[in-house]
Amino acid sequence: MIDINCDMGEGLGNEESLMPYIRSANIACGFHAGDQETMDRVVALCLRYKVNIGAHPSFPDKPNFGRTNMYLTAKEVYTLVTEQLLTIDTIVKKHGAILHHVKPHGALYNMAARDGELASAIALAVKDFDASLVYYGLSRSLMIQEAEKAGLQTAHEVFADRSYQTDGSLTPRTLPGALLETVEEVLKQVVGMVSENRVTTLSGEKISIRADTICIHGDGPHALEFARSIHQILYEK
């Protein structure tokens, strides 16, 4: 069954309301948002609601919420991903739980989707930390290719609330139409991605896509409404 994931621990405080409608949580590890107390609280909620616990590593960029490109060496990226995995894994183990997956955040995610060297550095960090972790990456992107080369289990990720470009990338947030803002738009996109393995791009072209896991952005103004509607259409038939 398809997975629904959500970015969490980013300062919104809405995690518990979203938990009943998701299967996996990507928890900010302190580099773009979050802190020890927040991570601890969200991990506890994941256990209460039986939600998969995931790490959401980012560039070290709290002022810009991790959404500004940074040009680091492969070694620097490997180190920052490893550091964040260590941070959250310590908290997870304190709760007697296990980390399930890793999903990069923001600019780190988007850059890795098109930069093989960067994608490889992230994948290697994940593999060296724990080769059993599932790598969540942009569907059919270099992130997935490099993770598979590293021998990791992968989940092709699609986005419920973001529009797409013809190359399969997400429309940059700086452009009009980047964010889907109504339940009708979101459900139409989700149904197409799940049932047809296709998505209609911002320009109107249909491209192929693989949907193993669907992301809902927890910091979006309609996050709860979207999560509830997607859960209903996928799981409550």
* Cα angle: 148, vertex 154, 155; to 5 degrees: 145
CATH topology of domain 3-235: TIM Barrel (3.20.20)
Q: Contact, 187 vs 144, CB < 8 A?
A: no
pLDDT in tens, 7-17: 999 999 999 99
Q: How confident is the model at residue 220 (pLDDT cuts 50, 70, 90)?
A: confident
Asked whether the predicted pLDDT for residue 30 surpasses 80, the reply is yes
pLDDT in tens, 165-194: 999 999 998 999 999 999 999 999 999 999
| Domain definitions of the chain by residue range | 3-235
Residue 24: per-residue pLDDT: 98
The average pLDDT across 113-139 equals 98
Tell me the H-state helices in the chain: 15-18, 36-49, 74-94, 106-112, 116-129, 142-149, 183-195, 223-235
**31 pLDDT band (50/70/90 cuts)?**
very high
Model-level pTM?
0.96
In this prediction, residue 236 carries a pLDDT of 82
The mean pLDDT of the chain is 96
